[in-house]
């Protein structure tokens, strides 16, 4: 995979994670946990992927002059 594709995937995973946290904060409902089970294997995998994606975007932000330009 190219860096551009990985950055796009990471971007969307972070957006999904942020929306999930917004739903938790507003409604008190964990959408990922509701769909895949509270802290089941698949839920944990999604949380791990969202966290790794956030780290990827942070590293990419400091590595490239225009980090979000690759998402377009």
| pLDDT (tens digit per residue) in 13-46 | 999 999 999 999 999 999 888 888 888 888 899 9
Question: What pLDDT score was predicted for residue 69?
Answer: 62
d(CA 55, CA 38): 24
Extents of the domains making up the chain? 3-65
Question: What pLDDT score was predicted for residue 71?
Answer: 62
Which residues, other chains included, contact 11 with Cβ-Cβ below 8 Å and sequence gap of 6+? 53, 57, 68, 71
Average pLDDT, the chain: 87
Neighbours of 10 (CB within 10 A): 22
């Amino acid at each position: 995979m190219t860096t551009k594709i990985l950055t796009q995937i990471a971007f969307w995973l972070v957006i999904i994670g942020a929306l999930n946290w917004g739903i938790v904060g507003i409604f008190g409902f964990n959408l990922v946990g509701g769909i895949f089970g509270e802290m089941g294997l698949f839920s944990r995998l999604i949380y791990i992927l969202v966290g790794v994606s956030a780290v990827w975007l942070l590293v990419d932000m400091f590595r490239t002059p225009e980090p979000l330009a690759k998402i377009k």
